[in-house]
A and B are shown apart, each in its own frame.
Chain A
Amino acid sequence: MQAHWEHFSHEADMGVRGVGDSLAQAFEQAALAMTAIIADPARVQPAKPVSIRCECPDRELLLADWLNALVYEMACHNMLFSRFEVTIDNDSLSATAWGEAVDRVRHRPTVEVKGATYTALRVNQRDDGSWLAQCVVDV
């Protein structure tokens, strides 16, 4: 199973979907999908690491927490991220996100993400053993 991400349609906004061999990998791919709403991840240098921790008893809410933690880091540090390493241990997630400061000319950012929503929020293991992590984000 090749880990990958994709967008899915929502009438007003966008859905992000990550698929991977593990829960953590699906979370990493969902984060990439979110970056891709704002800019092409290939244009973002994974230069500077930022550490992120979240905790939540519900796996789906943990996905929203993870994406919202990234929204917060992007907003406060004016950054975009293109590489993610996630570890999930029961209720807690610890991660490193690598990225760089927004460069309007090089990144051509399209839109800000306001937050990850609980709409179409799903985290589950599929029949083929792969993991899926998705939700709609408000832009």
Chain B
Amino acid sequence: MARNYPLQRQSEFSWRIDPFGKMRVPGIVYADEQLIGAMDDKVFEQLCNVATLPGIVQAAYAMPDAHWGYGFPIGGVAAFDADEGGVVSAGGVGFDISCGVRALRTGLTADDIESRKTELANALYQQVPVGVGSTGRIHLNDKGMNAMLLGGARWAVEQGYGEPADLDHIEERGCMRGADPEEISAQARRRQQDEMGTLGSGNHYLEVQRVAEIYDPKIATAFGLKENDAVVFIHCGSRGLGHQIGTEFLKYMVLAASSHHIELPDRELACAPIHSELGQAYLGAMRAAINCALANRQIITHLTRQVFADVLPAADLTLLFDVSHNTCKLETHTVAGRKRKLYVHRKGATRAFGPGHPDIPESLRSVGQPVLIGGSMGTESHILAGASSGEALSFNSACHGAGRAMSRHRATKLWRGRSVVDELGARGIVIRSPSMRGIAEEAPGAYKDVRAVVDAAESAGLARKVARVEPLVCIKG
């Protein structure tokens, strides 16, 4: 692939673009030679654009699964210092605020599930609302909406969806502080009122999987995982509310950029100073949307537990972890020997705190935060653990998935949904989805090799591989 950007190899798994033009810091990409060779030049263009934003600290980073996004590359990480004119960017968080992955242990083995797999798939497909136009069973009025936006998964547990013990295994203990429901527009509320507890569509899914391989037995034991265990992955976000907040603030920030003396290299990088009325309004709204996503995944967990209780009563679904990959969070990081409070944007990147970090639940603190990497439908997903080395490398961030290798358009030219379902069925994977074209667009071949992505993340020192999981059942949006 032609390269219009001066990439210098720093080490076997990291590449650097020295600042040029208006870049304030370098761009750094973590990838092996093959992954970087396959990356579109747009990734480097977007990374260099991010590096021009005011108050950016250290470098603009791209993870091994980076691909062409909006403004930020997907797989992009950037941290900003509020006291140095730093910005918060609606484009840097994206439309699906707090989209993320939740992993549950089931207390069962794959063999326990095998004979009930189809029944389980049918029941999950029936009970968990999925696809275009699906609505949940919870309909929130304004008061209920405000409580949800302030309380997140904690609100959901108070409403009877799940257990208090779940909260310890969710980022922010299930409730993002600093949320401001006042900043959530009537339109965003309207879009969300019937969408609580819905998966959505596109690349969102619920999978039942088996642990196919353990890479690190010590950490796997701490995570409560053994080979052949059945686990559940839930991948979804803040639904219509998050999409609407992203849409609205993107526009406000573009229109206000010149009054904040911000020159945007790309309108999609729309941002506002953290120390500004608009910046604070966005942070309040975005944090409320994070709570919406946490509540949503908590409700879906409850529905999943109900299905397992019916179909496989011996199951006991406990939360391994819940981690978001589209966020901006205030964190303390050591930069050049000095502790600094920074607003870390992760757009399609997963927080990956290393062992000992105080924000990791106590039971997991000694081994590092679980990092949940969703692969493509029908291939495999991965469970990693944050590494101490990630602090200096990427503000404790790692990849988030396989990353698309081709457009949806091209995928539908190459595959038919029905044949993808049949092919996966022959391999023992049961797929349920309202849309055959959706399945074609999400065909495994449309994604990069997730194993190459996690191998690069581990080799670069961003996180440690713990286990590989393979799908048994996939409920696809």
Binding site for B on A (CB under 8 A): 7-14, 38, 56, 61, 64-65, 68, 71-72, 75-76, 78, 102, 104, 108-112, 114-119, 121, 136, 138-139
Contact = CB atoms under 8 A, between A and B. Distances in A.
A114 B95 contact: yes
A14 B69 contact: no
Please indicate which of the listed interface residues A108, A110, A116 has the most CB atoms of chain B within 10 Å of its own CB. A110
Given A108-B435, A118-B267, A119-B268, 19 more contacts: A9-B407, A10-B68, A10-B407, A11-B406, A12-B404, A12-B407, A61-B251, A75-B243, A102-B132, A109-B434, A110-B132, A111-B435, A111-B477, A115-B243, A116-B247, A118-B250, A119-B71, A119-B266, A138-B94
A14 B246 contact: no
A104 B433 CA distance: 12
Contact of B67 (A11, A115, A119, A121): A11
B100 interface: no
Nearest to A109: B132
Contact of B202 (A64, A108, A112): A112
A68 B243 CA distance: 10
A107 to B, nearest CB: 8
15 contacts: A9-B407, A72-B187, A104-B434, A108-B436, A109-B132, A109-B434, A109-B435, A110-B201, A110-B441, A111-B132, A112-B132, A114-B243, A117-B70, A118-B91, A119-B266
Contacts of A112: 132, 200-202
B131 interface: yes
Interface string B238-279: 001001101100110011000000000011101000000000
B409 interface: yes
A139 B202 contact: yes
A127 to B, nearest CB: 25
Contacts of B190: 76
A7 B434 CA distance: 23
Contact of A110 (B187, B240, B435): B435
Contacts of B187: 72
A71 B187 CA distance: 11
Nearest to B417: A110
Contacts of A75: 191, 240, 243
Given A104-B133, A118-B250, A118-B270, A111 B96 contact: no
Nearest to A60: B267
Please indicate which of the listed interface residues A13, A56, A116 has the most CB atoms of chain B within 10 Å of its own CB. A13
Nearest to B40: A11
Contacts of A114: 95-96, 202, 243, 246
Contacts of A117: 70, 95, 250, 268
B410 interface: yes
Interface residues on B, range: 35 or more
A72 B268 contact: no
A60 B69 CA distance: 19
Contacts of B74: 12
A76 to B, nearest CB: 5
B437 interface: yes
B333 interface: no
B162 interface: no
A19 B410 CA distance: 22
Given A110-B438, A111-B201, A112-B200, A9 B71 contact: no
Contacts of A116: 247
A54 B202 CA distance: 28
A138 B132 contact: no
B451 interface: no
B437 A108 contact: yes
B357 interface: no
B329 interface: no
B133 A78 contact: yes
A109 B434 CA distance: 8
Contacts of A138: 70, 94-96, 243
Contacts of B477: 111
B351 to A, nearest CB: 21
Contacts of A38: 132
A76 B189 CA distance: 10
Nearest to A9: B407
Contact of A14 (B132, B270, B407): B407
A118 B268 contact: yes
B365 interface: no
Contacts of A104: 131-133, 434
Contacts of B240: 75
B139 to A, nearest CB: 13
A116 B251 CA distance: 11
Nearest to B250: A118
A136 B267 CA distance: 13
A76 B191 contact: yes
A110 B191 contact: no
B133 A64 contact: no
B438 A115 contact: no
Contacts of B416: none
B133 A109 contact: yes
A12 B67 contact: yes
A61 B255 CA distance: 10
A121 B267 contact: yes
B177 interface: no
Interface in B382-409: 404, 406-409
A12 B68 contact: yes
